[in-house]
Amino acid sequence: MVFSSLFFIFLFLPINLILYFSFKNRKLKNAILVLFSLIFYAWGEPIWVVLLLSSSLLDYFNGLFINKYFGKPIAKVGLYLTIIFNLGVLLTFKYSDFIVENVNSLTHFNFEKPGFLMPIGISFYSFQTISYIIDVYRGEVKAQKSFLNFLLFVSLFHQLVAGPIVRYSHIAKEIEERIFCWSDFNNGVSRFCIGLFKKVCIANIAGEICTHYLGSNLLDLTVMGGWFGILAYSIQIYFDFSGYSDMAIGLGWMFGFHYHENFKYPYISTSITDFWRRWHISLGTFFKDYVYIPLGGNKKYNFRNIFIVWGLTGLWHGASWNFIIWGLYFGVILFIEKIFFLNLLKRLPKFISHIYSLFFIIIGWAIFYFTDFNNLLFFIKLLFNLTNNELYNLEVQNMFFENIYWLGFAILLCMPIYNWFYKAINSASYFKYLVPFITIFLNLLLLTCSVIFLVGSSYNPFIYFRF
Amino acid sequence: MRKPIAQFFLKLNSAIFVFILITVSILFFIMPKHKISQDEKRVLTQFPEFNTADLFSGRYFKTIELYYSDNFICRNEFIEIASLIKRNKGIKNNEIQYFTYSKSSSIKKGTEKDGKRSKTTSPKDISTTESVDDIYENIKSVIVYKKKAIQIFNGSNYALSNYASLVKKYKDELGPSVSVFCMAIPIGSDFNLPSAFKKDREKIGIDHLYSVMDPSIKCVKAYEELRKHQKEYIQFNTDHHWTGRGAYYAYLAFCKTAQIKPLTPNKFEIKRINNFLGTLYYHTRSEDLKENLDYVEYFKLRNATKTTYFNENATKEYGGQLFVETAKGGSSYGVFLGRDYPLMKVKTDQKNGKKILIIKDSYGNAFSPFLCAHYEEVYIVDYRYLKSNIKNLIKKYGINNLLFAHNMYVLNSTFTISQESNFLTSNFITPTVTKPIISKTVPKKEPEKLVKDTIENKSNEN
């Protein structure tokens, strides 16, 4: 199931809310959440619930084991067992085809591809459990004694299939004691509506434009079509993913969980370094805390560490070389920025750094989009008019103007206008009293628009399922 | 004082949200469920019957979700508003409206349904003959210009070269006793697009195809003949097919190539079915098209024929009709042959020993009846549905002419090539189907998609 489906919004969620809030007992509340999470997960491919449960069970016992022998060498066994199991599962289900393909092309063997279907959300929850075990091993958190509570942490449907990657320490306390407050619920509702709107009214429409251009025969694509397509893809991927994170955070608030922010307006970055502080923050900090720093961070072999981390970051996004290239591409830019370019940027006018960052981000998305290397090269050449393709045609011109209001709106939404707006009306004494009305009105508007588009179109692909 | 008020509004906001959620949920259970969507011309998703296989594959739950969204309250109104908003999200060009192919269009589901339907129901109520999603899979853009829907053709010479070698392969296998014809049918892009567009895409494609075609193959210059009459009613305003008149001009071109004396129009009984609103209306939902309804004109033969059709393995024979004159409304194009049968056989009163097999897509439905005026037996194969060996068929029935008649979209698709190569192999193998992880569509369209991807990769290598 996905949040942006009518079934979820108008059946699953209300039933869940009613049941959840009709009980006072916290244990019962947790059990209800776990039950609904498992249903939510099982909805797509029921069989993978078994994997989720067995992985959770193993990690739960490993946590207890490490806790018991804390500080003793034997505790390492639990740590390694969890890491090996989770990475093993990830390798098997996500990367086995990719590995076999590469082994075959490097050697003369001709192994058959296993062709596993990837369980939904595996990249997210396996990282969550790994982080939990490492934190327990490091003594940063206490192991969870109750399996139900642990399962709640792993399977909570808010973040199960598309992140953010929640750290156990962030919600450890809230699993055991949550205090309900109306302002939280209220903020959660608003946040959910915003996220839904971003996903349904921005990302999905951008997706249509993107597939129309990038998914077509590249030989027939115009240069302007190429830019329009990749711009649409940049919009799609941001609004899709951050919209989903918004919904997750909003749902969390409704039920009393406070997840950390996952996006902070990445497209207003002034450098690529800045971009990665604003894009998919939970993944960035995961790699920083569990790979980069243990490898030596910037103290030892800094260069090597940067490339390992960025190669892995790329690889996490999908089992294909273009993702690794995408990661390394950012690794290189970050390294250059680190040695001297960042200092230079600071001295330049701000709009130049914005243009610089956006340019490299958008080119990055081209690498991300094209899994086929030849297509990618051709596309990059096309963007700079190095192919024989037409510059533009009537079709792309028309398409551009037919979407121009929407496009302007989408670009505006990449900036923190919502915050500016609220700041402005809060500071104006006349409007101050209208704020609650405005909030209610906006939420209704966002929800209605989203429902209209959800009903109006069956086009609801979810690109982050790939991970 | 202010704090409680603020608290009240917080609660109000939350309460309104929850109230809406719960009300809509309850309304879903109360409201009557519909079986058919008139607008989309399809049967809505019904609550699935339980079986364990579907449960484990996730299909069971997915169907429930589809059932839910298909029966959502005020669904049609919401769809209407959505398309209204979508039409106004930018500055519209009033003269030319663009309709990008996207998966959002409701016709997607509609065609899906048609595909299923053509297998199960009787020929009488069959809607437009084009069924599986494949035709839409290939439509890149449709524009509406002066109240007429025009498809923008888009294809590559690479695919066409492959098609030429496939036809050559047939010729090699069948030997000199069978004359092989190839007829590429334009889809109206070149003739109807406004001048702002490049208007010779189809011509370039057809010229390329014929230039790489083996000299032993007789190429039918339908394009040239149709161009002479491009001002006439040869392409529908609201449908993706050509008209009966368009097919007649292609027939003239065919006769020239086959050295047959064609019948003049007055030799036919020309009849019409009015008020035809075709597939491209449902694809674009453009109001302009509603103001420019089509009629289906058909040239009825006067000579006696006996028509039968076969199942997909060509093992069972049933009674059929060359013209199903009861066709009406959105299914009016079905007047030609009824629908896309895997194989049809027409016995005529001509006793000249000439027998022809035509491999066609739905454009061929309007064309095939003309052949019945000149051949003793006419065999009509739909390339999508037959699962049998054509070489054997040709041998079995003593067929001495073979005609490939396809529109430019179909000629450009590698699905066509893989299907038609399969007709040559003794064991018919349907292309394997991979199921996507989340897909609301029937898997039938998947092979098309896959090959589309591969062809793009290949054409970039060139």
Express each pLDDT in B152-174 by its tens digit.
Answer: 887 777 888 889 999 999 999 99
Q: Does residue B449 have a pLDDT over 80?
A: no
* Helices (H), ranges, A178-301: 182-197, 204-214, 223-254, 272-278, 281-287, 293-295
Please check whether residue A130 is in contact with residue A84, taking contact to mean a CB–CB distance below 8 angstroms. Answer: no
Give pLDDT tens digits for B108-134. 222 222 332 233 222 222 223 233 333
- Catalytic pick from A170, A260, A317, A354? A317
CA distance B332 to chain A (A): 27
CA distance A77 to chain B (A): 35
Nearest-angstrom CA–CA distance, A11 and B191: 51
ipTM greater than 0.95, yes or no? no
Task: For chain B, give the mean pLDDT.
Answer: 78
Give me the helices (H) in B31-58, please. Answer: 52-57
Q: CA nearest B404: which of B287, B234, B257?
A: B257
Please, which pLDDT band fits residue B452 given cuts at 50, 70 and 90?
very low
pLDDT higher than 60, residue B406: yes
Q: Estimate the crossing angle of helix A48-68 against helix A26-42, to 10 degrees.
A: 140
Q: Is the pLDDT of residue B270 over 70?
A: yes
- Decide if A436 touches B, using CB distance below 8 A: yes
pLDDT at B245: 94
Q: Is A367 on the interface with B (CB under 8 A)?
A: no
Q: A406 vs B9: CB contact, 8 Å cut-off? A: no
In Å, what is the CA distance from B407 to each residue of A388, B99, B182, B219, B313?
Answer: 27, 21, 11, 14, 25
Residue type, A71: G
Structure-token pair, residue B328: 């009406």
| Residue A403 at interface with chain B, using a CB cutoff of 8 Å | yes
pLDDT given at position B39: 61
B361 three-class SS:
coil
Q: Which of A294-308, B72-86, B170-184, B322-336 has the highest mean pLDDT?
A: B170-184
Q: What is the pLDDT, as a whole number, of residue B65?
A: 85
CB contact under 8 A, A205 and B154: no
Inter-chain touch A9–B21, beta carbons under 8 Å? yes
Q: How far apart are CA A264 and CA B290, in angstroms?
A: 47
Measured between beta carbons, which residues in chain A are less than 8 angstroms from residue B155?
Answer: 217
pLDDT above 60: residue B138: no
The Cα B193–Cα A394 span in angstroms is 12
- Taking CB atoms and an 8 Å cut-off, how many pairs form between chains A and B? 195
Q: Which of B17, B75, B91 sits opposite A404 (nearest CB)?
A: B91
* Helical (H) or strand (E) element with A378: helix A373-383
Q: How far is CA A72 from CA A68, A76, B146, B403, B461, in A?
A: 9, 8, 81, 81, 59
B9, B62, B101: residue with CB nearest A436: B9
- Cα within 13 Å of Cα(A172), Cβ side: 16
Residue B441's pLDDT band (cuts 50, 70, 90): very low
Position B83 scores a pLDDT of: 78
What number of other Cβ atoms are within 10 A of residue A359's Cβ?
A: 10
CA distances from B139 to A365, B151, B210, B385, B435 (A): 26, 7, 23, 21, 22
DSSP string, A73-132: TTHHHHHHHHHHHHHHHHIIIIIHHHHHHHHHHHSS--PPP--PPPPTTHHHHHHHHHHH
Query: Residue B90 is nearest to which of A211, A405, A447, comparing CB atoms?
Result: A405
The minimum CA-CA distance between B85 and chain A, rounded to whole Å, is: 9
Q: Which residues of A touch B91 (CB under 8 A)?
A: 401-402, 404-405
Percentage of chain A modeled with pLDDT above 70:
97
Q: A90, A126 in Cβ contact below 8 A?
A: yes
Looking at residue A100, its pLDDT comes to 87
Confidence of residue B94 (pLDDT cuts 50, 70, 90): low
Say if CB B173 and CB B391 are below 8 A apart: yes
Does the beta-carbon distance from B198 to A47 stay under 8 Å? no
pLDDT of residue B263: 93
Q: Do B457 and A395 touch (CB under 8 A)?
A: no
Q: Which of B55, B27, B33 is nearest to A11 (CA)?
A: B27
Distances (CA, A) of A346 to A117, A298, A350: 46, 22, 8
Tell me which residue of B327, B436, B461 sits closest to A376, measured CA to CA: B461
In this prediction the pTM is 0.72
- A466 → chain B, closest CA residue: B437
pLDDT tens figures, A131-176:
999 999 988 888 888 999 999 999 999 988 787 888 888 888 888 8
* Contact criterion met (CB < 8 Å) for B25 and A454: no
Smallest Cβ–Cβ distance between B460 and the set A375, A394, A452 belongs to: A375
Q: Does B87 score more than 70 pLDDT? A: yes
Per-residue pLDDT of A67-81, as tens digits, reads 888 888 888 888 899
pLDDT for residue A231 = 95
Mutate to test the interface with A, among B3, B19, B21 (most CBs of A within 10 A): B21
Res. B224: pLDDT tops 70: yes
Name the pairing type of β-strands B148-152 and B42-43: unpaired
Q: Which residues fall within 8 angstroms of residue B223, CB to CB, at 6 or more apart?
A: B184, B186, B190, B202, B203, B206
- The model's confidence at residue B37, banded by pLDDT at 50, 70 and 90, is low
How close, in Å, is residue A142 to chain B by CA atoms?
35
Asked if B69's CB is within 8 angstroms of A440's CB, the reply is no
Query: Over 80: is that where the pLDDT of B135 sits?
Result: no
Please state, in angstroms and as integers, the Cα–Cα distance from residue A50 to each residue in A81, A170, A221, B56, following that order: 19, 26, 45, 12
Q: Name every chain B residue with its beta carbon within 8 A of the beta carbon of A43.
A: 58, 61, 65
pLDDT tens, position by position, B190-213: 898 887 777 788 999 999 999 999
Provide the 10 A C-beta neighbour count for residue A453.
26
| Residue of A10, A407, A440 lying closest to B12 (CB–CB) | A440
Q: Rounded to whole angstroms, how far apart are CA atoms A182 and A202?
A: 29
| Residue for token pair 């309007």 | B366
Burial A15-35 (b: 16+ CB within 10 A, else e): ebbeebeeeeeeeebbebbbe
Contacts of B434 in chain A (CB under 8 A): none
- pLDDT tens for residues A181-201? 888 999 999 999 999 999 999
Q: Residue A7 and residue B72: Cα distance in Å, rounded?
A: 9
Rounded to 5 degrees, what are φ and ψ at B282? -70, -25
Closest chain B CA to residue A254: B14
- State which residues of chain A have pLDDT below 50: 459-467
Chain A residues with CB-CB distance to B136 below 8 A: none
Integer Cα distance of B462 and B459 in angstroms = 5
pLDDT digit string (tens) for B342-363? Answer: 999 999 998 899 999 999 998 9
Between CA A177 and CA A179 the distance in angstroms is: 7
At residue A278, the pLDDT reads 93
Helices and strands in chain A, H and E counts: 24, 0
Chain A interface includes B437 (CB < 8 A): yes
Of the pLDDT bands very low, low, confident and very high (cuts 50, 70, 90), residue B34 is confident
Q: Which tens digits make up the pLDDT trace of A421-449?
A: 888 888 877 777 778 888 889 999 999 99
Which pLDDT score is estimated for A458? 53
- In chain B, which residue's Cα lies nearest the Cα of A42? B58
Using an 8 Å CB-CB cutoff, list chain A residues near B100.
Answer: 208-209, 212, 399
Which residues in chain A are closer than 8 Å to B107, comparing Cβ atoms?
Answer: none
Lowest mean pLDDT segment, chosen from A235-249, B10-24, B43-57, B236-250: B43-57
Segment 38-77 of chain A within 8 Å of chain B by CB: 42-47
Q: Please tell me if residue B140 touches chain A, with a CB cutoff of 8 Å.
A: yes
Which tops the pLDDT comparison, B445 or A159?
A: A159
The verdict on whether A170 is a catalytic residue reads: no
With beta carbons under 8 A apart, name residues in chain B contacting A461.
103, 438
Q: Quick check: B106 and B282 in contact, CB under 8 A? A: yes
